[in-house]
Amino acid sequence: MEVAATHRAPAVADRLQRPLRDLRISLTDRCNFRCRYCMPREVFGPSFAFMPRQEMLSFEEIERLARLFVGMGVDKLRLTGGEPLLRGRVEQLVGKLAAIEGVQDVALTTNGSLLTPARAKALGQAGLRRVTVSLDALDDATFMTLNDAGMPVERVLGAVDAASAAGLAPVKVNCVVKRGVNDHAIVDLAGHFRHTGHSVRFIEYMDVGNTNGWRLDDVVPAREIIERIHARWPLEAVPGLRPGEVARRFRYVDGAGEIGVIASVTMPFCSGCSRARLSADGKLYTCLFGEDGLDLRGPMRDGADDAALGDLVAATWQARTDNYSVERTAGTPVRTKVEMSRIGG
């Protein structure tokens, strides 16, 4: 099938005047970790029904949809999962996406378990620019409890080194903080990555999906996280790099680097959200906490042309009013939400 050329246009805006700038593309709903805050083993066990391969978008279908989104203003693409590196030949997809005119950044979020030096090099050569690696503690006892897969810390630290050696640096290291579970690791993680050029981003424990047993009491507020680190190494706020950036950035006063906090619970950033999410089976979600997605795979496989698909995407984004984190803060009842393993973080 011939793919239409990309034509840049002003970004499509939703009802709250938020532009469509970022697209997160899930490659699979499978993961080799069973993190308690995302895919608890008692739910995602041997009998859980994951997507059949034929339901997942092909790389050609992903490329086609990515071109449509770029034509509507998207300039940043991120590959997610599940664990995206469970999908074979990801570097081929990276090459396709990086070649799209108008794409400024292709990034990948991974748990690091499969990011070997050879894989990192291949991804970098294909056009990947940045990697985010998840690491929730520096001690094996805590980390293995959280990932519930027997994965040691050293394996993930090796992935960070591999990414850096392949030129995919600075690496962002994501840490989901849950009170009483791994909040003791905050200062240690910050200290480990000082002077490395890499940035740890501490993420407030969120009520993603419906299965992680979220309670507000388990949230360690971003303000507390910053205070703990600031007490050891003084910090100062840094302006964001681009509109819609979700992490609040802070740098060490002594010049040793920076950290970030993602405070969806205590400091919602819905007003600046410019992210769309494409699930592995081709559904468009306009919020991490969305209930239902717009099916794009069906019309595409039924023969819809690019104009028709583009109209579907534009109409969905223009009707968008998603404001879930603000609603949660205001006490609005929690609704049934899509699982994060289907649409990435």
Q: Where are the alpha helices (DSSP H) in the chain?
A: 59-71, 90-98, 117-126, 140-147, 153-165, 186-193, 222-232, 297-301, 306-318, 324-329, 340-343
Q: Residue 1: what residue type?
A: M
pLDDT tens for the chain, residues 1 to 345: 344 444 456 789 999 999 999 999 999 999 999 998 899 999 999 999 999 999 999 999 999 999 999 999 999 999 999 999 999 999 999 999 999 999 999 999 999 999 999 999 999 999 999 999 999 999 999 999 999 999 999 999 999 999 999 999 999 999 999 999 999 999 999 999 999 999 999 999 998 878 888 888 999 999 999 999 999 999 999 987 777 788 999 999 999 999 999 999 999 999 999 999 999 999 999 999 888 899 999 999 999 999 999 999 999 999 999 998 888 887 776 678 888 888 877
Helix (H, G, I), strand (E, B) or coil at 226: helix
Identity of residue 198: H
CATH class of the 22-174+272-343 domain in this structure: alpha beta
Domain extents in the chain: 22-174+272-343
Neighbours of 127 (CB within 10 A): 16
